[in-house]
A and B are shown apart, each in its own frame.
Chain A
């Protein structure tokens, strides 16, 4: 299988609660969902965000939503204190999903 950027197969949205970010990955076409399931392991996603996660890499979780051909990644700790006290430019992590779309699948 040739390599493709995730952005060609799926779209994404990021939400925040406290210190935790969640990133949805939704296949444009239902038939690509199995490919996302296989390629986007928790380990791959944690490695993609390794620098931002630091010691929290092992806490990444993945939920599957086959009805809407989507995955939901939950990344505790990635917001480094959360919206209210983070020093980050993007304290909500709103831009994180776009970074995930650059991963190759």
Chain B
């Protein structure tokens, strides 16, 4: 029976490139998928596009393509397995990204590669026609006014399938649900019906396991002495071999770092899942509640038991909007009495912010090394006094000038605060927040564009 080998070349926008090259070279892959769009990435990319119409796609697109396109070319030679690429690195500008891929292919001397772009996820214009719509944070779309930056629907696998039917070597998308990037080649190759919920559920499990790349091969896992990961520095990325029934074995390239076993697979299956019996995607409501994992060989795990039910009637839309400014300052204290001096510094900064009338919506003042991650109740479970501690004060302000004053009041501790404060840093950043709403499927029109060889 025909099987398909799908690799995962990135789990987020800034991910390492070497493991993707390793997979392209040695993974004997049919498809290499790069998942590079976090919740907020597209809103940031949209801002970049506003200042430059040819910008707004993943900043690492060029480097990734230069490194892996030669293997796509190699796959076109006789006797070689054909390799195709799928990625959401198009972000806010898939058309410009596809042009860039085309340009790089020509630069590398690769002739006749078919590069396609998928559009239709950008629904900003559709939403602006109906400003009364309610976001999940309780605000109406209209209330965001000119702070509204972007609105992108999570597309399913179908548009990518159409691009593959058009014989694309490279498919560049904007917002597509992460597992759908991986489900698409399975749908295309195996010809599954779009209401074959069980197989779609199985294919979605494969996508969900692969979409964070190194997180299933030993990344986000090592806990020395408890959960050790061999050769973490050379962590390899995963691939799955899938058959037409949706049965899958997850593995990695021999000789790469990391580990894949039932423990890493179980952690990743539950990652970012709420009800395991109902994981909604644009393609299917996947059911992972009956999944089990078994070892086939070292670093090879069989996943089985996924199922699915009818897909949701609506598509989730992520709405990006400007939401003020965050100002932040940090300073360190060390040696005997460090915690007491940092605590005094914290009190002083908060009092000065009050005395000088700095206006903020929300403020946090915490001691890194004591209570910054988990609060003071958990942070004081250990009784040992840390040798060093770092004060961090952050506040969200409507106004940039107010936000600037947060870091300044931390920096002034050098000469106006407790003994021995060192290494102060300060900064201000604009907040690009994300909220969501649901849109009927028929409000979204997906289009496949072929970037011509000319």
Residues of chain A having any CB pair with chain B under 8 Å = 7, 11-13, 15-18, 20, 22, 24, 26, 28, 48-52, 61, 63, 65, 67-68, 70, 72, 74, 81-85, 87-90, 94-96, 99, 102
Is there an interface contact between B272 and A22, defined as CB atoms closer than 8 Å?
Answer: yes
Other-chain contact of B290, A17, A22, A67 (Cβ < 8 Å): A67
Q: Is the CB of A95 within 8 A of B305?
A: no
Determine whether the beta carbon of B274 is less than 8 Å from that of A22.
Answer: yes
A95 and B276 within 8 A (CB): no
A-B contact count (CB 8 A): 119
The 3 closest A-B pairs by CB, nearest first: A15-B272, A24-B270, A13-B267
Contacts of A52 in B (CB 8 A): 374-375
Query: Which DSSP category, helix, strand, loop or mixed, fits chain A's interface?
Result: mixed
Residue pair B436, A24 in contact (C-beta under 8 Å): no
Q: Which residues of B contact A51 (CB under 8 A)?
A: 375-378
Which residue of chain A has its CB nearest to the CB of B382?
Answer: A102
Contact A13:B366 (CB < 8 A) given known A18-B436, A84-B431, A87-B394: no
- The reply to whether the CB of B266 lies closer than 8 angstroms to some CB of chain A is yes
Chain B residue with Cβ nearest A8 = B226
Residues on B with C-beta less than 8 A from A88 are 364
Q: How many interface residues does B have (CB within 8 Å)? A: 54
Mark B196-234 against chain A: 1 for CB-CB distance below 8 A, else 0.
000000000000000000000000110100110000000
Of the candidates B136, B263, B288, B372, the one whose C-beta lies within 8 Å of that of A89 is B372
Flag if A24 contacts B372 (CB, 8 Å): no
> In the assembled complex, how far is the CB of residue A100 from the closest CB belonging to chain B, in whole angstroms?
10
- Ordered by A's residue number, 23 sampled pairs between the chains whose C-beta atoms are within 8 Å are A13-B267, A13-B268, A15-B273, A16-B272, A17-B272, A18-B434, A22-B273, A24-B266, A24-B267, A26-B263, A26-B266, A52-B374, A52-B375, A67-B292, A68-B262, A68-B292, A74-B275, A84-B434, A87-B362, A88-B364, A90-B373, A99-B374, A102-B381
- List which B353-399 residues lie within 8 A (CB) of chain A: 362-364, 366, 368, 372-378, 381, 392, 394-396
Q: Is B347 an interface residue (CB 8 A)?
A: no
Q: Are B378 and A18 in contact (CB under 8 A)?
A: no
- Which positions in B face A, CB cutoff 8 Å? 38-40, 136, 220-221, 223, 226-227, 262-263, 266-277, 288-293, 305, 323, 326, 362-364, 366, 368, 372-378, 381, 392, 394-396, 431-434, 436
Please determine whether A20 and B274 come into contact, CB atoms closer than 8 angstroms.
Answer: yes
B372 near A67: Cβ-Cβ < 8 Å: no
B220 partner, pick from A13, A26, A50, beta carbons under 8 A? A13
Chain A's nearest CB lies how many Å from the CB of B282? 15
Shortest Cβ distance from B290 into A: residue: A67
Closest to A88 in B: B364
Q: Is the CB of A68 within 8 A of B291?
A: yes
CB distance from A70 to the nearest CB of B (A): 6
Neighbouring B residues of A99 by C-beta, 8 Å? 373-374, 378
Residues of the B chain whose Cβ atoms lie less than 8 Å from the Cβ of A63: 274-277
Q: How far in angstroms is the closest Cβ of chain B from A67? A: 4
Q: Quick one: closest B residue to A96, CB to CB?
A: B374
**How close is A69's CB to chain B, nearest CB, in angstroms?**
8
Q: How far apart sit A22 and B392, CA to CA, in the bound complex (Å)?
A: 26
A85–B40 Cα distance when bound, in Å, is 10
**The one of B136, B288, B326 that contacts A87, using a Cβ cutoff of 8 Å:** B326
- Chain A, Cβ-Cβ closest to B269: A68
One of A49, A67, A89 near B392 (C-beta < 8 A): A89
Assess whether B373 is in contact with A85, with CB atoms less than 8 Å apart: no
Contacts of A16 in B (CB 8 A): 272
Are A72 and B273 in contact (CB-based, < 8 A)? yes
